[in-house]
Amino acid sequence: MLNKSIKFLIENKLVAVLLLVLFVGWGVVNSPFDWNTGILPSDPVAVDAIPDIGENQQIVYTKWDGRSPQDIEDQITYPLTTSLLGIPGVRTIRSSSMFGFSAIYIIFEEDIEFYWSRSRILEKLNSLPSGLLPTDVNPSLGPDATGLGQIFWYTLEGRDEKGNVTGGWDLNELRSIQDFYVKYALSGASGVSEVSSVGGFVQEYQIDVDPELMRQYNINLEQVVKATRQSNEDIGAQTLEINKAEYLVRGLGYIKSIEDIENAVVTSEGFTSIRVKDIAKVNLGPKTRRGILDKEGAEVVGGVVVARYGANPLEVINNVKNQINEISAGLPSKELSDGRTSQVTIVPFYDRTELIQETIGTLNEALTMEILITVLVIIIMVFNLRASILISGLLPVAVLMVFISMKLFGVPANIVALSGIAIAIGTMVDVGVILSENIIRHLEEDEGKLSINEIVYNATAEVSGAILTAVLTTIISFIPVFTMIGAEGKLFRPLAFTKTMALTASLVVALFLIPPFAAVFFKKRNVKSVAGYIISAIIVVLGIAALLFGYVLGLVLIAFGITGILLLKKKITPKRSNLINIIISVLTIVYLLAEYWRPLGLERSIFWNLIFVSIIAFGLLGTFALFRKYYTRMLRWALRNKIAFLSVPTVIVILGVLIMQNTGKEFMPSLNEGSFLLMPTSMPHAGVEENKRILRQLDMAVANIPEVKTVVGKAGRTESALDPAPLSMYENIIQYKSEYMLNDEREWQRYKVNEDGMFVLKDGKLTINPNSELDEDDESDYSTENLKDPFMVKREDLVPDEDGEYYRNWRPEIESPDDIWNEIVRVTKLPGITSAPKLQPIETRLVMLQTGMRAPMGIKVKGQDLREIEAFGLKLEGIIKEADGVKDEAVFADRIVGKPYLLIDIKRERLARYGISIDDVQRTLKVAIGGMQITETVEGRERYGVRVRYPRELRENPQDIKDIYVPVEKGSPVPLEELVRYTL
């Protein structure tokens, strides 16, 4: 059947052409490389930078504002955890009890479907027994996403029409715009799971009651709460028919201003009303917050977009950007005092698009380089230009067929999956080489008796069985990889899939497409001289046109055209013509490798890169040629001296084992993400203002590093279940500049220089060339002006010039991203915060999802007392730092004790004396210290809370309770200090 299919396609070449067109067109449509498909539709494979190897996890999130971690643990986390253990498919449960909320992480078995597990959790939550949780507590299921879904972070900033920062907006204004406009608009983008806010202030109406005036008027807190609630209500009163027209009746009663609350009547006696403003001050103020966002030292408001589980991250980001473009015109603006117009603008500071495109671009470049090198090897070794073109054409077609299979089977494109294609290229080429060489051999042995179709068929049928067996053996050897589970399976199964599909595609192309095209390529033609001259002239003209448009490769077309003309004039023999064409092709490939590979770096000229590539390429090819020439002699010697020869591989195996035992082992090497995540922590007892000060210092210190493009720091958490961070934990996302200046397409760009090699700016000024080594003894290179200029120049200031030089963004002493990180570590050594290991955003999310910690390796300490556990951890921290190969900044012990508690113990015997209930005292405490939100008012589409609380001076020093009184039903209010005792 196999040979019949091959024969059919050889005899019906149009079918083979149609198959080729189908594979190429379909593959281009599904390509992840963001190609311009022209008239073809675009339906790319899902693209991300790296595979999501996190656990199959769901989050149950429960808020209980103002409650301590101990209360959360006892009344929410523990009872919920024990109830959720019975869900089918649960492997383990991790939980976290923090101030104001509980987060329970339910880890399911890998074979449990993601949305099925969510359904089971919802069923369990809906069937919880009454009384299990406090009455005002409602657990909720977290977003249908993983921590790796945080793909887009942004800030809201006031900017003018030129994009310059103007300011002019209060943090509460920006937070309202974020919460009630931007958040909802971006949530509507396809593939978005949630958009959460961070930073700024949430506005609320705050009623600061005066306890002295309340005592004088004999008014208690319950009356104030009741009066405020009853003054904030809209009603619907059905309809009225007036003059045969129906009118909808609305009773308007929502609070719209401070005056509405101030005029609310608390009590009335003797036709005299006591209003809220008589006993309290009402104002608009900030709600208590647990998250701060800072950009380079200035507090800002922002948000994070989370992609839905299973969505295409690149497509989701594009949808979000399209949504941003749609809503940007509707964002508010205001005129500033200096006459400028400040428009609220969405400014991204973390966009995974760049990383995805760079990752895919790197793999695209790697595949291109591999194909070029493979073509070079084939041309030199096979020494037949037609066969080389035929074999080389196999690779792109097979790669496109892999994209088709990835789309059909839902395998996303990432650095690991696409690496499988790169690994398989060597085997893919072998198939084509074996087939083509056998066809050439049959052509040489034929004496004109058989047609070209018969020769190609006989040559293909002779090796088809062997090729099929060899490829299937390789494919079968990868079956164990498909059986991997857990993180290993998620990481390596895509690689095994793409490698298997690449080999399968190469088998299809080699056995079914190469033979019919080989029958066309190797067919002897008697081209008439006139037609030959016309074709050669067209090639020369195309080459000249390419040169005029600036394409140096036009010289290659001119050379091919001239060679064709010389062959037609019989100035050279066909054999010599083939040799010349091969030399032209080889030189072209070597030039392309030198131009796009740049192994010596961009600071070296193309000449030296070309010399280096030539030495490497021709040196290796020469070695292979010598090996092939003297192979039979070496084989004879090895057969005569078996023991001596076998000692060589034996020594190699022993050395390999010894070296392997002494090398580091890493499950997943770090991907260079182009950004860092600085995650130090402060002391647990640090307050909001202290954390804000430290965060500002960190951002300002990092922003002053010339190689850093932008830095945005977060203290605390966003309004999301995916971010259960305490206020004392910082996350500074640091974007650093690329080593060389890039254009809008993120390609290396050359810029204009003068005769002295200095870069010319658009304003006519010059800046020294940072690509050259600065002379430390030359004061002109290190003057105050010149020291700053080379590394602070923007791309918009430079003049693009194809004959210019590449502009290096980094200082001469900075040679790698590790050097930038060392600079960050140096400037962020601040008192009061811990050190931080080298982390990157995606890498950190994956580690935290897998381990629940900020590091891939950790030591758990168990004991009877938290203080003893912490003390032991601190001692262990010092010991581990002394271990060989351990970086000091990578070791830190969690501070689990240190958040101070003010325990207020109620004297129950005193309550009985005054006839006061526990609830009366607790309500007074709640309002006096933390304030109590009693209602919400709606203004348009915005909602504002209404909170009753005691004056600030009492809340800042809760031990000074002489002015706090608890109401008594009959009699004078009782001072709180008589009813409670304090413990710090």
Question: pLDDT per residue over 519-540, tens digit each?
Answer: 887 776 555 566 667 777 777 7
What angle (nearest 5°) sits at the alpha carbon of residue 572, between those of residues 569 and 573?
A: 110
Quick check: helix, strand or coil at residue 696?
helix
Q: What are phi and psi of 885, to 5 degrees?
A: 80, 0
The predicted model gives 798-808 an average pLDDT of 85
Please state, as a whole number, how many other Cβ atoms lie within 10 Å of the Cβ of residue 423. 15
Q: What percent of the chain has pLDDT over 90?
A: 16
pLDDT higher for 535 or 438?
A: 438
Question: Would the pLDDT of 709 be above 60?
Answer: yes
Among candidate residues 907, 696, 708, the one with its CA nearest the CA of residue 791:
708
Please give the Cα distance from 329 to 181 (Å, whole number): 12
Question: Torsion-angle region of residue 62: left (phi > 0), alpha (psi -120 to 50) or beta?
Answer: beta
The predicted model gives 816-831 an average pLDDT of 90
List strand residue ranges (DSSP E) for 88-216, in order: 90-98, 101-108, 140-141, 150-159, 192-199, 203-209
Distance (Å) of CA 49 to CA 304, 311, 324, 353: 18, 14, 23, 9
Please report the pLDDT score of residue 551 as a whole number.
67
Output the furthest CA–CA distance in the chain (Å, rounded).
128
**What are the beta bridge partners of residue 712?**
295, 733
pLDDT higher for 763 or 59?
A: 59
Banded model confidence at residue 344, pLDDT cuts 50, 70, 90:
very high
Please give the Cα distance from 442 to 464 (Å, whole number): 15
Question: Would the pLDDT of 782 be above 50?
Answer: no
Please report the pLDDT score of residue 155 as a whole number.
93
What contacts 24+ positions apart, CB below 8 Å, involve 621-630? 621/376, 621/377, 621/380, 621/381, 624/377, 624/381, 625/380, 628/381
Banded model confidence at residue 196, pLDDT cuts 50, 70, 90:
very high
Please report the pLDDT score of residue 452 as a whole number.
86
Question: Would the pLDDT of 984 be above 50?
Answer: yes
Mean residue pLDDT across the chain: 83
Quick check: helix, strand or coil at residue 325?
helix
The least confident of 4-13, 648-657, 722-731, 766-775 is 766-775
DSSP for 917-931?
Answer: -HHHHHHHHIIIII-
Banded model confidence at residue 961, pLDDT cuts 50, 70, 90:
low
Q: Which residue has the tokens 């921590």?
A: 147
Question: Would the pLDDT of 601 be above 60?
Answer: yes
Please report the pLDDT score of residue 783 as a whole number.
45
Question: Would the pLDDT of 424 be above 60?
Answer: yes
Question: Would the pLDDT of 955 be above 70?
Answer: no
Question: Would the pLDDT of 553 be above 80?
Answer: no
Banded model confidence at residue 325, pLDDT cuts 50, 70, 90:
very high
Distance (Å) of CA 959 to CA 70, 928, 955, 984: 22, 11, 9, 10
Under 8 Å CB-to-CB from 888, ≥6 apart: which residues?
835, 881
The predicted model gives 487-497 an average pLDDT of 84
- Identify the H or E element spanning 320: helix 313-328
Is residue 55 within 8 A of residue 850, CB to CB? The reply is yes
Please give the Cα distance from 277 to 282 (Å, whole number): 7
Q: Which residues of 628-637 are buried (b: 16+ CB within 10 A; e: fewer)?
A: eeeeeeeeee
Please report the pLDDT score of residue 787 as a whole number.
43
pLDDT higher for 125 or 167?
A: 125
Is residue 28 within 8 A of residue 21, CB to CB? The reply is no
Stated pTM of the model: 0.82
Among candidate residues 441, 315, 411, the one with its CA nearest the CA of residue 34:
315
Banded model confidence at residue 157, pLDDT cuts 50, 70, 90:
very high
Please report the pLDDT score of residue 302 as a whole number.
93
Q: What are phi and psi of 60, to 5 degrees?
A: -105, 120
The least confident of 77-86, 526-535, 573-582 is 526-535
Please state, as a whole number, how many other Cβ atoms lie within 10 Å of the Cβ of residue 111. 8
Is residue 945 within 8 A of residue 204, CB to CB? The reply is yes
pLDDT higher for 425 or 189?
A: 189
The predicted model gives 536-547 an average pLDDT of 75
Question: pLDDT per residue over 439-452, tens digit each?
Answer: 888 888 877 778 88
Please report the pLDDT score of residue 285 as a whole number.
85
Please report the pLDDT score of residue 791 as a whole number.
62
Please report the pLDDT score of residue 669 as a whole number.
64
Question: Would the pLDDT of 628 be above 90?
Answer: no
Question: pLDDT per residue over 60-73, tens digit each?
Answer: 999 988 888 888 99
Task: Let me know if 864 is exposed, middle or buried by CB neighbors in 10 A (0-12, 13-18, 19+).
Answer: exposed
The predicted model gives 496-505 an average pLDDT of 90
Give the torsion through C-alpha atoms of 74, 77, 82, 88, to 10 deg: 180
Q: What percent of the chain has pLDDT over 70?
A: 92
Question: Would the pLDDT of 817 be above 50?
Answer: yes
Question: pLDDT per residue over 197-242, tens digit each?
Answer: 999 988 888 888 888 888 888 888 888 888 888 888 888 888 888 8
Banded model confidence at residue 620, pLDDT cuts 50, 70, 90:
confident
Under 8 Å CB-to-CB from 822, ≥6 apart: which residues?
none
Banded model confidence at residue 271, pLDDT cuts 50, 70, 90:
confident
Banded model confidence at residue 951, pLDDT cuts 50, 70, 90:
confident
Is residue 108 within 8 A of residue 139, CB to CB? The reply is no
